[in-house]
Amino acid sequence: MGEAILSRLIASNIYLPPDVCVSDPMPERRDFLSQKYGVQVTPNNLIAAETEVMMLAVKPQSLNSVAASLVDAPAPCIVSILAGVTLSHLEDLFPAKAVVRAMPNTPAQVGAGVTAIAPNALVTTAQMQAVHKIFQAVGTVVEVAESLMNAVTGLSGSGPAYVALMIEAMADGGVAAGLPRAIAMQLATQTVLGTAQLLTETKLHPAQLKDQVTSPAGTTITAIAQLEKSGLRSAMIEAVLAATRRADELGK
């Protein structure tokens, strides 16, 4: 995810390569990032005094050791994309610092993600603008109360897997009905993509779009009746709630 954000920032010219420094302990990784994106690289966590934003993109279990080397970092604003790590924990590690907790999702890799952000009380308006600018490079940005971040994880953080599973199942249905696998997958993927775009651009409620597609005694209402019988709606709701509960557990 860190590289996805980096790549979009550079491609969008939001930051110039010389203005970005990436820390990574692996020499081959540093060489790759330097050659591919033209950014500065370092094997340690020393950052320049003029640093505007420092982003934490490490494994949650590595946070405490990484933070120990950054406690005196000059960056005025620290952004964390670590799942389950609370603002309170980040504030303990970085006393008196402006901290923003963020939860992007994997479509960020193609600039179509959505990121929820929650700042602490020390984040200024200018710093929030800078954070918005960073995550707008990988999609849309929403601000939520930190108490809702685990719900964000359960919905949009884990959501791409739900959609991928649904696309796979739709394609399997097409194959079962006689379509070649490649065509079934193309039809399923584009149907989901196009429907999402249609809902976004028209601002239609999903129920309105469903009603537009559903004609009396037709194929769609027959399929919807089967989906309701199989509990699709309930299963999706319970999946989001289960993922939210698990995010709560991981954060404790």
Q: Which of 61-70, 120-129, 140-149, 163-172 has the lowest mean pLDDT?
A: 61-70
- Dist. CA 167–CA 188, nearest whole Å: 6
Q: Decide if domain 2-145 falls under CATH 3.40.50.720.
A: yes
- Dist. CA 192–CA 167, nearest whole Å: 7
Could you read off the pLDDT of 176-222 as tens digits, one per residue? Answer: 999 999 999 999 999 999 999 999 999 999 999 999 999 999 999 99
Could you read off the pLDDT of 130-140 as tens digits, one per residue? Answer: 999 999 999 99
- Dist. CA 239–CA 54, nearest whole Å: 33
- For residue 57 the two structure tokens come to 């993109």
pTM exceeds 0.85 for this model: yes
Task: Tell the CATH topology of 159-250.
Answer: ProC C-terminal domain-like fold (1.10.3730)
Q: Is 15 helix (H, G, I), strand (E, B) or coil?
A: coil
What local confidence, expressed as pLDDT, does residue 47 receive? 67
Q: Which residue has the higher pLDDT, 70 or 218?
A: 218
Q: Is 198 helix (H, G, I), strand (E, B) or coil?
A: helix
Do the Cβ atoms of 56 and 81 come closer than 8 Å? yes
Confidence bin at 84 (pLDDT 50/70/90): confident
All structural domains of the chain with their residue ranges: 2-145, 159-250
- Dist. CA 154–CA 162, nearest whole Å: 10
Could you read off the pLDDT of 28-55 as tens digits, one per residue? Answer: 999 999 999 999 998 877 666 567 888 9
What local confidence, expressed as pLDDT, does residue 51 receive? 77
